[in-house]
Amino acid sequence: MPVMNAIRAGRLATAMLLGLTLPLAAQEGHHGGPERPQPTRPQGPEGRRLPPDSMTDQTVTLPDGRKLEFTATAGSLPLVDEGGKLQAEIGYIAFTRPADDGRERPITFAINGGPGAASAYLNIGAIGPWRLPIGKNSISPSQDVGLVPNDGTWLDFTDLVFIDPVGTGYSRAADGDAKKYWSVDTDASILAAVIARYLRVNGRMASPKFYVGESYGGFRGPLIAGKLQEEIGVGLSGMVLLSPVLDFAWLERPRTDPWSFVLRLPSLAATGLERSGQTPSQSALAPAEEYATGSYLADLLKGPGDADAVGRITDRLAGLTGLDRDFLRRQAGRPSSRGVQRELDKSAGRVTSLYDTGITGWDPDPDSLHSGFEDPQLTALQAPLTSAMLDLYARTLKWPVPNQRYELLNTAVNRGWTWGSGRQAPEVLSNLKGALSLDGKLRVLVAHGATDLVTPYFASKLELSQVPPYGGGRLGLSVYPGGHMFYFRSASRAALHQDAAALYSAAIADRQAVPTSR
């Protein structure tokens, strides 16, 4: 999209109104529970295909014995233009609880990435009231899809609203032309408008407001924060960015560029630690980080034709990562991600996931020099997550959508995405710096899994080190055992819950503090 068209599209998105009606149905939300009559939808924009919103009363008993009672709302937000014509329907799920102390409860808006992913990953994987258990080392697409109470849910300290961008979940463009929503700037404007309208309609403008985004959803965070403040007039108290991309130029690099190997080396070292039975803690990863930006980078710059440099790299990488010396030598100390996937469990005929090197699957062609295979985590999760969400919508939330496909991971969105114009790759590190510098109370947590080769944690660590302190203590990085979706590991899910709760507590305390003159 040309620059001027992108600007115009962003302004149009901000000007759009969300012709939102309140939730319409109210039943007891437990499986098989009694249902109250379904009222008809009030007058709204013509052409809506999704059913009326459903509101249910729910209860979950957590593994520690705590009981959470809450209201669940499943439905859609109609996006209309200034003339009242329906443009799109945005699917969402909200979980809300009454405040214990009479104060406004925090509210968090959760969005996944891709672009093209629905919010199911964050919902039933990470922070919602229920979660889908998955295998620790291998994932079966045909596994049981029954949900269990989530011991790591954030519902104990914040209300949660999960939003699906156009083309994901049940969210659709009314005229079938979804591509006009699939660009960096317009996407952020639309999602900011959806968040703002939800706040207005539900009377939550006075609530402390937070954002959580995963992967490209993390990339969206600083953009949405800026749109909310500058175009709509809404300020966020905090953001939690899970496995984010902050600057695509750091990750999308050719093989001739040494920087990509520097960024991924600590994650390969974390893989080696796990495979030797150790925990990839900060102290355990420190030697790999120091080597990556020191002697490793210096030897990489000498080029693959320098035999002495390749020899030094090979010896050091073999010790740090556990990878075979011959493999590393053939790769000139520059192990490709695809090569690593086959090399780690080659003797067993298995391949590993780029998203979490701790998860493996069978290599369909182990005796072939080249093998094409689906990712053992990302692809294997698609069937159980989709089925679990369909069951959650239909049985628990009483919002079945029989005549529309649920899109967990829509590749058409990713392929059709407009990344902007010009020669510079998109980045949001400057947006993050702007948000932190402008608001002295905003707090941000960036969280990664140590064994993620898609968005390696070391990239964010080095990028965040380029952000000035702005008073200190408001920008943090946490690295947990696991990969891109580290929250599927119980210990990492618990650690994320603890770190997020601490951020919320500090942000709310800052918000309530009486301003003092400097």
Model confidence pLDDT, tens digit, residues 237-288? 999 999 999 999 998 888 889 999 999 999 999 999 999 999 999 999 999 9
CA angle 30-42-204, nearest 5°? 65
3-state class percentages of the chain: helix first, strand second, coil last, to nearest 5? 40, 20, 45
Q: CA-to-CA distance for 445 and 210, rounded, in angstroms?
A: 11
Confidence of residue 341 (pLDDT cuts 50, 70, 90): very high
Query: Alpha-carbon distance 55 to 258, whole Å?
Result: 53
What mean pLDDT comes out for the span 335-349?
93
Q: Which of 315, 376, 385, 383 is nearest to 345 (CA)?
A: 376
pLDDT category of residue 367 using cuts at 50, 70 and 90: confident
Query: How far apart are the C-alpha atoms of 109 and 332, rounded to whole Å?
Result: 45
Average pLDDT, the chain: 89
Q: What are phi and psi of 435, to 5 degrees?
A: -65, -45
pTM: 0.90
Average pLDDT over residues 378-382: 95
Q: Residue 466's closest CA among 221, 192, 316, 247?
A: 247
More confident residue, 104 or 490: 490
Ranges of beta strands (E only) in 97-137 are 107-111, 130-131
Coil, strand or helix: which one is 462? helix
Q: Which residues contact 62 (CB under 8 A, 6 or more apart)?
A: 68, 149, 150, 151, 153
> What pLDDT, on a 0 to 100 scale, did the predictor assign at position 174?
87
Is pLDDT at 423 greater than 90 in this prediction? no
Q: How confident is the model at residue 84 (pLDDT cuts 50, 70, 90)?
A: confident
pLDDT tens, 182-239? 999 999 999 999 999 899 999 999 999 999 999 999 999 999 999 999 999 999 999 9
